Structure formats: C-alpha cells, structure tokens
Amino acid sequence: MRGKVYETNLFFLLVIIITIIGSLILEFFPEGMVQELFQYVCILIPALLYVYFKRRSFKETLKLNSISIKNIILVVFLTFAIQPFIVLVGTVADIIFKNQCELLFGDLESYSIWFALFGTALTPAICEEVLLRGVILDGYRGMSIKKAVIMNGFLFGIFHMNLFQFSYTFFIGIILALIVYYTNSIYASIIMHFLNNALSVVVTKFPNSFYARLEDNLYRTETITQVVLMVVLALISIIVSYLIIKAIARTSKNEGVYTRYVVSNDLIVKEKVFNWPLVVSFIIFLLMSLLIAVAASLNGLM
C-alpha cells in the first residue's frame, strides 16, 4: 500500500511537470498579466484539486487558521532579521553561479511597482505556500518535525529548478515550514513569503530608497573588512532569527495553537522519503539547473 508521503511526492512531481509544460506554452504569449496568472493555473489550481479529490479538509490540510497579532508582528521581525543571512548565501551563490541572476529574474524595472509586487511577491506567496506549506507539509505530517521541515525546505528549493535559487530557498523553506508548524496557520508563511519577495522588488524599483542604500552599503564584498562584516551580520541574523522563532513557538504554545499540529512520537511514520517520484523530481531539477547554467554562460559571452 502506498503511503501518504509517496502520494505527496508523486503529486509534487506532477506539479513540476505541469509547471514546466506551462512555462513552455507561455513562450507563445507576450509578457504581462497572462504570464503572471500561469502560477495560479499550474500551481494553485492543481493543489486545490488534489485536496478536493483526496476528500481532505481544506481548512486542516491548508492550515487556514487565524494567526494572532503578536505572531504577525514576530513574523514581520523574523523576515527582516533573516535577511543578512539570506543575502550572504545569495552573494556566495551569485559568485559560484555567475550570470544566472539576471537571466532568471529578468528586468523588473520595466514594470510598475504594483505589477511587480503582484507578480513577484503576492502570487508566489499564495500559490507556492498553498502547495508547499499546505499540501506538501500536510503530506509529511506523520513524520518527525525535524525531517518534515528539512524535506519541505529541500522540496521548496528544487521547485525553483535552479541551483542559484536553491541555495537560499532551501533555508527559507525550512523557516516557513517551522512558523507554519508552530502557528498552525498558512497565513504566517504567506506574510513572510510576501514580505521577503517584496523587499527584493523595493530594492530593484527604488535603488535610492533608505532600505536599498542600507543593503548596498552593508553587503559589499570589495574588501576583507566588508566580507567579515557580512559574515558577522549573518551570524547575528541566525541568532536573532532563532530567538524570534522560539518566541513564535512560545506564543503559539501559550495560545494553545501549535499543540494541535503536533504528532505524538508513538504515531511518527517510518515511511521512506526518497522514493522514485522524489528521485525523478530531483533529476529534473538537476537537468533544468544544467540548462540554465549553460544558458547563463552563453548569455555572459554575448
């Protein structure tokens, strides 16, 4: 009998295939709203249909539960606190995977701020969270929390289909899974996901803004001193983020929230995680990463 993790990984593979096919079809459409809506068609709708045909509760599977004002504030602080670490990882990845950043993200400057926020921040925050922190995380519910959140970060990373984004989305995915676990609310990860992506939009659209100039001054790698400063900030970032996550857990526990999501040690499932659907998903990820690396190299020579 196939277990829940197997079914979840198989569905994840299906969404990857649908997304790749959708991306190929989009090449025939001009850039604009149609391209931004494809995530709803290729990611959100399949996730909702999966829950429906599996006859599962939308509220329980997607964790459509309210979140306290205190936890919302903590999630906002966490988003800013983790930035130095994410920037450090992204900077290292940018050095290793040269020319991929521009190829992957395109030119946001040509879009209005509202369109950029909708396409780059709001849409992924809704679609990817419903899929990863909703359906996928629920599929791993019977496993230990440590294994569940690490696997969620891993799947979130490979879902982006390139090694450059995997480098930091892996860690972001773990944090997003943790705050959903503690708050038992997908709104926690949607808020953090939106804010994290919105910060990138702000830096791109408003290079002279206070936040953009602060980031530019703090995260330079031109001298040894600047590199050391970046590493120190990243270490502080990890410590502060850890304390905030603990505060979220403590707040949720006091509110009697996250205990509803905890699985007893006696009920932890020993199902195999690395089954063939996950292996195939990972192989596709490696192939796509190779194609993007080649395309980036050719783009850099032009």
Per-residue pLDDT for 76 more than 70?
A: yes
State residue 53's pLDDT score.
96
Give the per-residue pLDDT at 227. Answer: 82
Per-residue model confidence (pLDDT) at position 97: 81
Total tally of structural domains belonging to the chain: 1
* C-alpha distance from residue 289 to each of 97, 157, 286 (Å): 10, 12, 5
Give the pLDDT mean for 15-40. 85
Query: Does the structure show a pLDDT above 80 at 100?
Result: no
Q: Which residue has the higher pLDDT, 115 or 214?
A: 115
Mean pLDDT of 149-173: 96
- The pLDDT > 70 percentage for the chain reads 84
Band (pLDDT 50/70/90 cuts) for residue 143 is confident
| Model pLDDT, residue 108 | 65
As a whole number of angstroms, the distance between CA 216 and CA 214 comes to: 5
Look at residue 177 and tell me whether its pLDDT is greater than 80: yes
Lowest mean pLDDT among 42-46, 128-132, 169-173, 207-211: 207-211
Contacts of 258 (CB under 8 A, 6+ apart): 181, 182, 183, 184, 249, 252
Domain hosting 68: range is 4-301
pTM: 0.92
pLDDT number for residue 111: 75
